[in-house]
């Protein structure tokens, strides 16, 4: 079954804190793992993505950590800011998937308090 499980559902941190959002998957054929950020009333937008040949990827304050053996990956937001308050979705897709379809996690609503 192509599922991606995401936790926690919601998260509140103080400004400057490091929120961590975790995702776990089952399908070993998954080979592309993006994170999307969604602000209220907007569509999701790609934030950062990783492929399983690396264990970590950083882009600015955002870092993905990937553990292939555990089939888990996580998003870390360094020095979080109130403007990072949004819903974050992890996702996964497989090269065997002719339609490039993404399977999404359930989302994490992040609030960063000033």
Partner 1 sequence: NAGVTQTPKFRILKIGQSMTLQCTQDMNHNYMYWYRQDPGMGLKLIYYSVGAGITDKGEVPNGYNVSRSTTEDFPLRLELAAPSQTSVYFCASSNNRAEQYFGPGTRLTVT
Interface with partner 1 (CB under 8 A): 6, 9, 32, 34, 41-46, 49, 89, 93, 95, 98-102, 104-107, 109
Q: State the pairing for strand pair 45-50/30-38.
A: antiparallel
Q: Is the dihedral of CA 50, 76, 47, 10 positive or negative?
A: positive
Cβ distance to partner 1 smaller for residue 18 or 101 = 101
Cβ distance to partner 1 smaller for residue 12 or 18 = 12
| Strand partners for 64 | 57, 75
* Residue 104: CB minimum distance to partner 1, A: 4
């Amino acid at each position: 079954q192509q599922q991606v499980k995401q936790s926690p559902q919601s998260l509140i941190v103080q400004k400057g804190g490091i929120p961590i959002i975790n995702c776990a998957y089952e399908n070993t054929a998954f080979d592309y793992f993006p994170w999307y950020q969604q602000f209220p009333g907007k569509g999701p937008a790609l934030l950062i993505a990783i492929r399983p040949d690396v264990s970590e990827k950083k882009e600015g304050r955002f870092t993905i950590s990937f553990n292939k053996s555990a089939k888990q990956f996580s998003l870390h937001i360094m020095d979080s800011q109130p403007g990072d308050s949004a819903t974050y979705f992890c996702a996964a897709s497989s090269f065997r998937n002719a339609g490039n379809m993404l399977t999404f996690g359930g989302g994490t609503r992040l609030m960063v308090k000033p």
